[in-house]
């Protein structure tokens, strides 16, 4: 493809056409000139021959040499005649050669194309009396022809110049400039500038093309605007969908993490529960517990203070403590942070760490950044205080776990405390002080005491829930059987305190049944406390309430 502009190609085409036409015209002029020259030469030759044939016969016949010379000289006056000769009876009697042609003879002129020659007989009364030869030079005609040709060439060149300049001016003004403007505007539009206005003057094809371009530009602009709008909307939708997707993914990830965390924390609670049931001694349990919590929550410091006799809280176990001289082992109720939390029964998060709370490492000691002090409250009484030191803030999940773990620890600790308390009061054996005067009921009371002792053994020996549940169920069922037997007899013999006695039975039965149901459904309950309650109730009820029906029924003949 040519890189030339339309303007150059158009002008070259115009110049070629004009040159072609002028060459054609010039050739025509030359051909016409040559023909005209030949015609004129032939006419001149004919005229000279005619003149010779008309004038010479008489003079020649009369042997008038002078006239012959005059006639022939007259003919030679014509400057185009370059050779003239007269022959009589084969002898050349007259011969003239134009100056400048030297010694040329007739044969020379015959052989050259620059000359026109002719010879003819001179007749007198139809008898040949001589022969005339005339040679005409073509030079003057050629010179005229050349002049004409030069004029034509000059005219042609002038015409070429004028036509070229004019065509270039017109084509530039009417075609190329508007086309260049169109091209610039179209390039600008193609480059993205849809506001590039195409200037279209005139009502010709280019003007119409420019207006069509403008219309097309407007349409494209509208299309692009619409497209941008659609694109923008699409982008917004994509962004929105992406954000939603990201949110869902995040939520899913969070839910998964929460589920995993929840599972991990749940497992830790179960493991902690096993640790809590692994021993009967407070020191042992506190040590195991401190170590487990420190490892699970990655805590550098743990202290476990348990309520002792009186109102002080003694350190039962610790983890990571810096054991320096003068470090207090116990806190009075309401004294120090431990005693204060025990008194207020509310956890506290400390960020100004006391000097004593240093953590001992092989390389030295550092202070934790945060200390969380958590009271273990049972039955509105603080029975222990947990002290947890951390290098970082506790997360919500960790705090929640500590809260749940604390419930289990409280229960386990209370069980140990109750058992140790029980050990002191649990020497439950039937003796005469339990004798109600009715043998059947004495036997049932003995059996109830056996059930209570079995429950104590199960709890003390850390039997599993299934075994403890079986004993508790047996105790509950037998209690109901015994109460029914007593109530039947009292009612049968019109025992006056029957109603109040029955009321006491109902209260105990409903409490025991409720506790059993809670235990059966998996709830963690303090069995030791239940046991203490049962022992105390049994002792009180048999020795006071049951004993009152003995004399009345004895009088009715029942023993």
Give the nearer residue to Fe ion in terms of CB position, either 407 or 502. 502
Determine the Cα–Cα distance for residues 341 and 349; give it in Å rounded to an integer: 11
Answer yes or no: are the C-beta atoms of 391 and 372 closer than 8 Å: no
In terms of CB distance, is 398 or 546 closer to Fe ion?
A: 546
- Residue 384's nearest CA partner among 299, 317, 461 is 317
Contact by Cβ (8 Å): 386, 373: yes
Alpha carbons 277 and 284: distance in angstroms, whole number: 11
Shortest distance, CB of residue 434 to Fe ion, whole angstroms? 9
- Give me the least distance between CB of 505 and Fe ion, in Å please: 6
- Using CB under 5 A as the binding rule, whether residue 398 contacts Fe ion is answered as no
Nearest-CB residue for Fe ion: 546
DSSP 164: H
Among residues 387 and 486, whose Cβ is nearest to Fe ion? 486
Contacts of 118 (CB under 8 A, 6+ apart): 45, 49, 133, 134
User: Residue 431 in 3-state DSSP?
Assistant: coil
**How far is Cα of residue 243 from the mean position of the Cα atoms in its chain?**
11
Q: CB-wise, 97 or 448, nearer to Fe ion? A: 448
Rounded Cα distance, 56 and 129, in Å: 10
Q: Which tokens belong to 163?
A: 């036509």
Q: Which pair of structure tokens corresponds to residue 194?
A: 């849809």
**Total binding residues for Fe ion by CB under 5 A?**
2
Residue 148 to residue 264: CA distance in whole angstroms? 120
User: Nearest approach, Cβ of 436 to Fe ion (angstroms)?
Assistant: 7
Q: How many residues does the chain have?
A: 559
Q: How far is 46 from 41, CA to CA, in rounded Å?
A: 8
Q: Which of residues 436-495 bind Fe ion (CB under 5 A)?
A: 486
Question: Which residue lies nearer to Fe ion by CB, 318 or 486?
Answer: 486
- CB under 5 A: which stretch of 112-120, 245-253, 348-356, 544-552 binds Fe ion? 544-552
The least distance separating Fe ion from the CB of residue 360, rounded to whole angstroms, comes to: 59
Q: Which is nearer to Fe ion, 10 or 478 (CB)?
A: 478
In the complex, the smallest distance separating the C-beta of residue 542 from Fe ion, rounded to whole angstroms, is 6
Cβ proximity to Fe ion, 80 vs 486, nearer residue: 486
Edge-first strand order for the sheet with 81-88 is: 91-97, 81-88, 127-137, 115-124
Candidate segments 139-147, 249-257, 513-521, 538-546, binder of Fe ion by CB under 5 A: 538-546
Stretch that binds Fe ion, among 204-212, 299-307, 357-365, 543-551 (CB under 5 A): 543-551
Structure token digits, residue 447: 């059996």
Residues 331-370 that bind Fe ion (CB under 5 A): none
Nearest distance in Å: CB 538, Fe ion: 8
**Comparison of 329 and 503: residue with beta carbon closer to Fe ion:** 503
Among 156, 357, 546, 553, binds Fe ion (CB under 5 A): 546
Distance CA 38, CA 16 (A): 32
* Smallest distance, Fe ion to C-beta of residue 484, A: 11
What's the min distance (Å) between Cβ of 461 and Fe ion? Answer: 28
Identify which of 118, 75, 114 has the alpha carbon closest to the alpha carbon of residue 94.
75
- CB closer to Fe ion out of 319 and 441: 441
Q: Whole-number minimum distance, CB 479 to Fe ion, in Å?
A: 9
> Which residues bind to Fe ion, rule: CB under 5 A?
486, 546
């Amino acid at each position: 493809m040519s890189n030339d502009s339309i303007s150059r190609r158009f002008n070259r085409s115009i110049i070629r056409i004009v040159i072609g036409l002028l060459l054609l015209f010039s050739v025509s002029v030359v051909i016409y000139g040559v023909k005209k020259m030949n015609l004129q030469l032939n006419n001149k030759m004919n005229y000279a021959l005619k003149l010779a044939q008309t004038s010479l016969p008489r003079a020649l016949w009369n042997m008038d040499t002078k006239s012959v010379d005059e006639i022939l000289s007259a003919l030679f006056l014509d400057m185009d005649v370059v050779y003239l000769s007269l022959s009589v009876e084969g002898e050349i009697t007259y011969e003239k050669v134009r100056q400048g042609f030297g010694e040329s003879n007739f044969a020379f002129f015959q052989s050259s194309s620059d000359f026109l020659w002719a010879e003819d007989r001179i007749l007198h009364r139809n008898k040949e009396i001589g022969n005339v030869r005339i040679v005409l030079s073509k030079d003057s005609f050629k010179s005229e022809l050349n002049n004409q040709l030069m004029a034509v060439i000059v005219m042609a060149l002038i015409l070429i110049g004028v036509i070229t300049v004019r065509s270039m001016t017109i084509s530039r003004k009417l075609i190329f400039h508007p086309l260049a403007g169109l091209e610039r505007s179209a390039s600008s539009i193609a480059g993205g500038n849809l506001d590039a206005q195409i200037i279209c003057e005139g009502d010709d094809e280019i003007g119409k093309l420019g207006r069509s371009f403008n219309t097309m530009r407007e349409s494209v602009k509208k299309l692009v605007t619409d497209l941008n709008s659609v694109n923008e909307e699409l982008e917004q939708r994509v962004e929105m969908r992406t954000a939603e997707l990201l949110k869902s993914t995040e939520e899913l990830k969070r839910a998964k993490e929460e589920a995993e965390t929840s599972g991990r924390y749940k497992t830790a609670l179960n493991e902690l529960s096993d640790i809590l049931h692994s021993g009967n001694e407070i020191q042992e349990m506190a040590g195991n517990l401190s170590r487990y919590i420190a490892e699970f929550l990655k805590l550098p410091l743990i202290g476990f203070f348990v309520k002792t006799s009186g109102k002080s809280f003694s350190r039962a176990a610790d983890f990571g403590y810096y054991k320096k001289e003068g470090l207090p082992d116990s806190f009075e109720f309401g004294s120090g942070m431990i005693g204060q939390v025990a008194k207020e029964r509310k956890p506290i998060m400390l960020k100004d760490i006391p000097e004593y709370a240093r953590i001992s490492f092989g390389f030295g000691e550092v202070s934790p950044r945060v200390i969380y002090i958590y009271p273990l409250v049972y039955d509105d009484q603080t029975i222990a205080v947990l002290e947890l030191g951390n290098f970082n803030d506790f997360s919500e999940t960790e705090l929640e776990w500590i809260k749940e773990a604390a419930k289990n620890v409280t229960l386990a600790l209370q069980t140990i405390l109750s058992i140790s308390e029980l050990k002191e009061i649990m020497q439950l054996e039937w003796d005469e002080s339990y004798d109600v005067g009715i043998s059947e009921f004495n036997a049932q009371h003995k059996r109830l005491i056996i059930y209570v002792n079995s429950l104590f053994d199960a709890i003390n020996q850390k039997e599993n829930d299934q075994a403890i549940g079986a004993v508790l169920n047996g105790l509950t069922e037998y209690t109901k059987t015994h109460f029914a037997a007593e109530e039947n007899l009292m009612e049968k013999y019109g025992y006056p305190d029957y109603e109040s006695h029955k009321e006491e039975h109902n209260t105990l039965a409903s409490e025991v049944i409720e506790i059993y149901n809670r235990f059966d459904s998996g709830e963690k309950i303090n069995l030791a406390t239940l046991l203490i309650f049962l022992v105390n109730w049994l002792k009180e009820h048999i020795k006071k309430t049951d004993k009152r029906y003995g004399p009345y029924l004895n009088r009715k003949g029942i023993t």
